[in-house]
Amino acid sequence: MKKLFTGVAALAMSAGFAATANADYSLTILHINDLHSRIESINKYNSTCNAKGEAEGKCFGGIARVKSALDTRRAELKDAGKNVLTVDAGDQFQGSLFYSTYKGEAAAEFMNGIGFDVMAVGNHEFDDGPKGLADFVAKAKFPIISGNINVEKEPLLAGKIKGSLIVERGGEKIGIVSTLAEDTVETSSPGDNVVFSSSEDYLKKAVEELTAEGVSKIIAVTHEGLPKDMELASKVSGIDVIVGGHSHTLLSNVAKRAEGPYPVMVKNPDGKDVPIVQAYAYSKYVGDIEITWNDNGDVIAAKGEPILLDKNVAMDEGFKKRVAELGAPIEELKAKVIGGLTADVDGMRESCRTGECQMGNLVADAVLDRVKSQGVSLVIQNGGGLRASLQKGEVTMGDVLTVLPFQNTVATFQLKGADVIAALENGVSNVEEVKGKFPQVAGMKYSWTRSKPAGSRILSVEVMKDGKWTALDKEAVYGVATNNYMRSGGDGYKIFKTNGMKAYDYGPGLEQVLADYISKTPDYQPGLDGRITEVKE
Q: What is the DSSP string of 366-429?
A: HHHHHHGGGT--EEEEEGGG----B-SEEEEHHHHHHHSTT--BEEEEEEEHHHHHHHHHHHHT
Q: What is the DSSP string of 3-17?
A: GGGTTTHHHHHHTT-
Asked if pLDDT for residue 120 goes beyond 70, the answer is yes
Asked if pLDDT for residue 16 goes beyond 90, the answer is no
Contact 363, 510 (CB under 8 A): yes
Handedness of CA 478, 483, 486, 488 (dihedral sign): positive
Contact 508, 409 (CB under 8 A): yes
Q: What percent of the chain has pLDDT over 70?
A: 96
Asked if pLDDT for residue 12 goes beyond 60, the answer is no
Asked if pLDDT for residue 432 goes beyond 90, the answer is yes
Residue type at 172?
E
**Using 50, 70 and 90 to split pLDDT, how confident is the model at 406?**
confident
434-446 in b/e burial notation, b at 16+ Cβ within 10 A? bbbbbbbbbbbbb
Q: At the top level of CATH, which class does the domain 337-534 belong to?
A: alpha beta
Count of residues for the chain? 537
At 465 the three-state DSSP class reads strand
CATH 3.90.780.10 residue spans of the chain = 337-534
CATH number of 2-18+25-322: 3.60.21.10
Q: Can you give the pLDDT at residue 4?
A: 56
Q: What is the pLDDT of residues 467-509, one digit of tens each?
A: 999 999 999 999 999 998 899 899 999 999 999 999 887 778 8
Across residues 349-369, what is the average pLDDT? Answer: 97
Q: Can you give the pLDDT at residue 94?
A: 86
User: How many other CB atoms are there within 10 angstroms of residue 319's CB atom?
Assistant: 22
Q: Can you give the pLDDT at residue 158?
A: 98
CATH 3.60.21.10 residue spans of the chain = 2-18+25-322
> For residues 352 and 318, what is the distance between their CA atoms, to the nearest angstrom?
37
Answer whether 0.85 is exceeded by the pTM: no
Asked if pLDDT for residue 5 goes beyond 70, the answer is no
What is the overall mean pLDDT for the chain?
93
Q: Can you give the pLDDT at residue 252?
A: 98
Span of 7-16, 390-399, 505-514 with lowest mean pLDDT: 7-16
> For residues 335 and 139, what is the distance between their CA atoms, to the nearest angstrom?
30
Asked if pLDDT for residue 7 goes beyond 50, the answer is no
Asked if pLDDT for residue 334 goes beyond 90, the answer is no
User: How many other CB atoms are there within 10 angstroms of residue 95's CB atom?
Assistant: 28
Q: What is the pLDDT of residues 171-229, one digit of tens each?
A: 999 999 999 999 898 878 899 999 999 999 999 999 999 999 999 999 999 999 999 99
Asked if pLDDT for residue 11 goes beyond 70, the answer is no
Across residues 418-444, what is the average pLDDT? Answer: 96
Phi, psi of 337 (to 5 degrees): -80, 125
Contact 353, 414 (CB under 8 A): no
Phi, psi of 73 (to 5 degrees): -70, -40
Using the 8-state DSSP alphabet, how is residue 126 labeled? G
Q: What is the pLDDT of residues 220-266, one digit of tens each?
A: 999 999 999 999 999 999 999 999 999 999 999 999 999 999 999 99
